[in-house]
Amino acid sequence: MKNIVKNIVAVTLMTFIGLTAQAQDKKNKNAKYTTEVNGNCEQCQKRIQKAAYSVPGVKTATWDVGTHQLSVVINEEKCSMNDVKKAIAKVGHDTDSIKATKEDYDKLHTCCQYDRL
């Protein structure tokens, strides 16, 4: 009888642990992020937003010219915020954590070239 009780407790415990671990792996399908992206004008805005939307899983992307803040909603099952930042850097714009290469930055129109730190 003791073995049956031990087995039931063990199975119950393993089931609980398995369900808890599975719940922690679930990604957010509507994760909201805001990050800084350098740029100057509406031409930059179009380029930054287009680069963000090029990443599969990006649902919305809005860059504010005045504040330099990019607000996005992404499906974390399909992409990460890091993927979005890499795409933006690839078109010449620095983000708070990923910088564009000199070659990509130099491809920007002169009015779009911002002061780099």
Please give the domain boundaries of the chain with CATH numbers for all domains: 31-112 (3.30.70.100)
Tokens of 84: 């979005």
Start-to-end CA span in the chain (Å): 72
Distance (Å, whole) CA 94 – CA 31: 22
**What is the C-alpha to C-alpha distance for residues 11 and 40, in angstroms, rounded to an integer?**
60
pLDDT digit string, tens, across residues 35-91: 999 999 999 999 999 999 999 999 999 999 999 999 999 999 999 999 999 999 999
In tens, the pLDDT along 46-56 reads 999 999 999 99
The verdict on pTM exceeding 0.75 is yes
> What token pair was written down for 55?
């990443």
Amino acid at 15: T
Question: How far is Cα 53 from Cα 49, in angstroms, rounded to an integer?
Answer: 6
